[in-house]
């Protein structure tokens, strides 16, 4: 199985969520199931059914996070030396050639992407167009709304 790239921050967020699920939420749901079971007939016990459903969700999320962490390649952007090229983990300042608007994006893994915080997925059209570009290069992005051009103003590894 191919390794999935993940930044150090993204991996740490996953570890924190996994720890919370295992140490806080899992024991709480076990207690809720025990309490619901004490109410008697399980066939008509809505509390029991809801608790079992929540337990199923938590166990599924634990398995998903453990799988993602075990199949990930953790990359520290600060240790990258890509000679000013856009690579996974890089933070890139861009200028939209049509509007003149400047934006800053960091290229991250699929699970870390959050456009509101300037983090774009490695598999997004804009990240694919940027990979390998250097300062001063123009990237053509084939987006659903048509082709857009961005000039790479600065590439940082932070």
Q: Higher model confidence: residue 46 or residue 154?
A: 154
Tell me, which fold does domain 4-75 have in CATH? Helix Hairpins (1.10.287)
Tell me, which fold does domain 77-156 have in CATH? Chitinase A; domain 3 (3.10.50)
Residue 140 is inside which H or E element, if any? strand 138-143
Confidence of residue 1 (pLDDT cuts 50, 70, 90): low
Render pLDDT for 63-93 as a digit per residue (tens, 0 to 9): 999 999 999 999 999 888 788 899 999 999 9
Mean pLDDT of the chain, nearest integer = 92
Rounded distance, CA 81 to CA 155, Å? 11
Terminal Cα-to-Cα distance of the chain (whole angstroms) = 29
Render pLDDT for 10-50 as a digit per residue (tens, 0 to 9): 999 999 999 999 999 999 999 999 988 887 777 777 888 89
> What pLDDT score was predicted for residue 47?
86
> What pLDDT score was predicted for residue 81?
79
Rounded distance, CA 35 to CA 48, Å? 8
Stretch among 42-56, 93-107, 137-151 having the lowest mean pLDDT: 42-56
Domain boundaries, the chain: 4-75, 77-156
Q: CA nearest 141: which of 114, 105, 110, 109?
A: 105
pTM above 0.95, yes or no: no
> What pLDDT score was predicted for residue 158?
87
């Amino acid at each position: 199985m191919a390794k999935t790239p993940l930044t150090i921050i993204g991996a740490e967020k996953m570890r924190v969520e996994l720890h919370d699920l295992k140490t806080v939420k899992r024991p709480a749901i076990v207690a809720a199931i025990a309490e619901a079971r004490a109410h008697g007939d399980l066939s008509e016990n809505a509390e029991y059914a809801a608790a079992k459903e929540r337990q199923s969700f938590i166990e599924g999320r634990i398995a998903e996070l453990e799988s993602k962490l075990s199949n990930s390649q953790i990359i520290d952007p600060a240790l990258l030396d890509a000679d000013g090229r856009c690579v996974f983990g890089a933070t890139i300042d861009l200028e939209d050639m049509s509007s003149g608007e400047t934006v800053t994006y960091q290229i991250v893994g699929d699970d870390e992407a959050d456009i509101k915080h300037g983090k774009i997925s490695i598999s997004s059209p804009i990240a694919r167009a940027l990979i390998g570009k250097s300062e001063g290069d123009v990237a053509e992005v084939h987006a659903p709304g048509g082709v857009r051009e961005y000039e790479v103003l600065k590439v940082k590894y932070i």
